[in-house]
Amino acid sequence: MKKRLPYIVIFVVLVGVEVLIALTQHDNFIRYYGGDIIVMWVLYCLVQAVLGGKNNHYIVNFALLVFAFAVEFIQGWGFVDKFGIESPFLRTLIGTSFAVEDLWSYAAGTAIACLGVFLYNRICFSGNKKSD
């Protein structure tokens, strides 16, 4: 639980930030691009909390990027319409449209997360065995 707790706390805080963005930001930049960048951090913290934070952090980030790209491509394919999903919540969660800009935002979010892992390892484990 000791390794999971920081990920759980950060996950809860970031979900709160995402909700605040969704409820208060109505411009295109922060709501769409900032939210997509932050969602990669949310997913990373969720996966690390579930898996115990003992995984290669770069591989987890890369796997989440592949997942995000896959979701974006099924949005472009029209998944929610082809399967007749009518729930507004599910339509919002899955998404209904493809945008290349989203792919760039996911990549940026992943790059920032990897930079954070690198800096954390560099600062906290310099001279010692690294966590990855």
Position 107 in a domain: yes
Q: How far apart are CA 87 and CA 84, in angstroms?
A: 9
Position 57 in a domain: yes
Look at the chain and report how many structural domains it folds into.
1
Please write the tens of the pLDDT for every residue from 91-123. Answer: 888 888 899 999 999 999 999 999 999 998 888
Position 129 in a domain: no
Position 80 in a domain: yes
Please write the tens of the pLDDT for every residue from 31-81. Answer: 888 989 999 999 999 999 999 877 889 999 999 999 999 999 999 898 899
Q: Give residue 37's domain range.
A: 4-124
DSSP letter at 68? Answer: H
Position 131 in a domain: no
Position 82 in a domain: yes
pTM (2 decimals)?
A: 0.84
Q: How far apart are CA 56 and CA 70, in angstroms?
A: 21
